Amino acid sequence: MILYLGTSSLIKLYVDDAHSKTVRQWVDEAEIVATCRIAYTEAISALEMRFKKGDLSLKDYNRIFEAFTGDWNNLVVVDFDDLDAGRLLKKYGLSRMDAVHLSAARKVHAAGDDIQVTFSTVSERLGRAAAAEGLRVIPLS
């Protein structure tokens, strides 16, 4: 299975919440874990925000940052198609980052006829759009 993780799902590998155990289990079962290149910046931004709000101690922030940065090279990092992302944004009313992630997942899916991509998201709207675009969706909501 190719598992595509948007940033909201990817960050659950490093920050415990209600769905972290589920995402970790999916990652363990996946043959390949993919995400968009923008997820690195998005994840670091999310960690920064949590640290600044006091949700993460400096020690936890540094530990998570190091783990995430170290694991980045183990992911299949894909690009997105800007025209496709714009089309998806308009067609489904997605946020810009959701459209970028869906475009990236579609690129993985389009790489071969026998490739099935499983898409993880916390957004119901994004999940519906991904399903409509032919991806298998495992929602976290």
Q: What is the CATH number of the domain that holds 14?
A: 3.40.50.1010
Per-residue pLDDT for 117 more than 90? no
pTM of the model: 0.91
Residues with Cβ within 8 Å of 138's Cβ and at least 6 positions away in sequence, in order, are: 26, 118, 119, 120
Average pLDDT over residues 94-107: 96
Per-residue pLDDT for 141 more than 70? no
Question: 19: domain range?
Answer: 2-139
Number of independent structural domains in the chain: 1
Q: Which residue has the higher pLDDT, 111 or 69?
A: 69
CA distance 118 to 136: 5
Residues with Cβ within 8 Å of 43's Cβ and at least 6 positions away in sequence, in order, are: 7, 10, 11, 14, 68
CA distance 13 to 119: 15
Are 127 and 121 within 8 A, CB to CB? yes
CA distance 33 to 60: 24
Q: Which residue has the higher pLDDT, 97 or 141?
A: 97
For residue 17, name the pLDDT band (cuts at 50, 70, 90).
Answer: confident
For residue 1, name the pLDDT band (cuts at 50, 70, 90).
Answer: confident
> What are the tens digits of pLDDT across the range 57-70?
999 999 999 999 99
Which among 32, 127, 121 has a CA at the least distance from the CA of 75? 32
> What are the tens digits of pLDDT across the range 21-39?
999 999 999 999 999 999 9
Average pLDDT over residues 126-136: 94
CA distance 24 to 19: 9
